């Protein structure tokens, strides 16, 4: 679970760049914008949703995927936000925007057309 201090700081930073809501879930915190789940917090780390469109931004910084069950466990399509990015809203904005776009695309892919 994220500490209250980190939780408050990370949400304040995100709220400077996007309209957000959050809720506690599975021992962490889920973060939403416009109803899209695009970020999560766990153990004092903020993670953003990734796909092929933004994964290289994180990997170029040597960052890997969130592993909720430890190093040997499965990975999730969320990567940690670099500290220097989280600290500066102008730097955070493009990262958050891209993660929100990923969440929007993911929801669109899940919807399948219904037959008439």
Place of tokens 């592993």: 67
| pTM of the model as a whole | 0.89
- For domain 4-110, the question of CATH label 3.30.1460.30 is answered with yes
For the chain, the domains span 4-110
Asked if residues 14 and 96 have their Cβ atoms less than 8 Å apart, the reply is yes
- The 3-state DSSP class for residue 110 equals helix
pLDDT along the chain (116 residues), means of 10: 84 97 90 97 95 97 92 91 97 98 86 57
Asked if residues 59 and 20 have their Cβ atoms less than 8 Å apart, the reply is no
Confidence (pLDDT) at 25: 87
Residue 65: Cβ within 10 Å count: 17
Beta pairing class for 45-49 and 78-80: antiparallel
- The 3-state DSSP class for residue 32 equals strand
């Amino acid at each position: 679970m994220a500490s209250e201090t980190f939780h408050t700081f990370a949400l304040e930073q995100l709220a400077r760049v996007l309209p957000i809501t959050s809720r506690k879930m599975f021992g962490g915190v889920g973060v939403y914008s416009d109803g899209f789940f695009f970020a999560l917090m766990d153990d004092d780390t903020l993670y953003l949703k990734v796909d092929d469109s933004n994964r290289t931004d994180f990997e170029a910084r040597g960052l890997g995927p969130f592993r909720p069950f430890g190093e040997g466990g499965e990975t999730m399509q969320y990567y940690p936000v670099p500290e220097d990015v989280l600290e500066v809203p102008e730097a955070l904005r493009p990262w958050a925007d891209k993660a929100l776009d990923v969440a929007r695309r993911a929801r669109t892919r899940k919807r399948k057309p219904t037959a008439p």
